Structure 1
Amino acid sequence: MSKNQKVKLPKQEKELSREKRLERENELLRLENAYLKKLKAFQENPNASLKKHKQRWHSNSKKKDSN
């Protein structure tokens, strides 16, 4: 193996790990953004999210009863 090939392999690995780190950071930022949007919506109107939750729970319980 030539000296140039040895040098290129670690660089490629670093780029891949950098890409993976950026993908992970992107995923975490998306999760944080979604959380903050939900938090803001809840703070603006707490009853709206409770109504949604009750509707979902109620509709799910109907499905179980019909079986």
Structure 2
Amino acid sequence: MSKNHKAKLPKQEKELSREKRLERENELLRLENAYLKKLKAFQENPNASLENHKQRWHSSSKKSNICG
């Protein structure tokens, strides 16, 4: 980031209403929570996550073959 962009960021934050700032914070916390849940699930059982990914990939590849 350039110095000018960094300098504008706090001004943009100040211009947002309190409600908009809280909505933004809430969304960031939801994203963080979802990420941490996925990370914990992966740490508990890495193979289950890999298998789930394989199933989704296999399923979507069947759909593309039907259409093509």
Classify the TM-score, shorter chain: 0.7 to 0.9
CA distance in 2, matches of 1:61, 1:53: 12
TM superposition score normalised by structure 2: 0.72
Structure 2 segments unaligned to the other structure (5+ residues): 1-13
- The number of residues matched between the two structures is 53
**How far did residue 39 of structure 1 move?**
0.2
Q: Could you say what the CA RMSD is over the residues aligned between the two structures, in angstroms?
A: 1.5
Q: Distance in 1 between matches of 2:66 and 2:19?
A: 49
- TM-score, normalised relative to structure 1: 0.73
Q: Which residue is equivalent to 1:34?
A: 34
- Equivalent residue number for residue 17 of structure 1: 17
Q: Larger Cα Rg: Structure 1 or Structure 2?
A: 1
| Structure 1: 5+ residue stretches without partners | 1-13
Percent identical across equivalent pairs?
87
Q: Which runs of 4+ in 1 moved over 3 A?
A: none
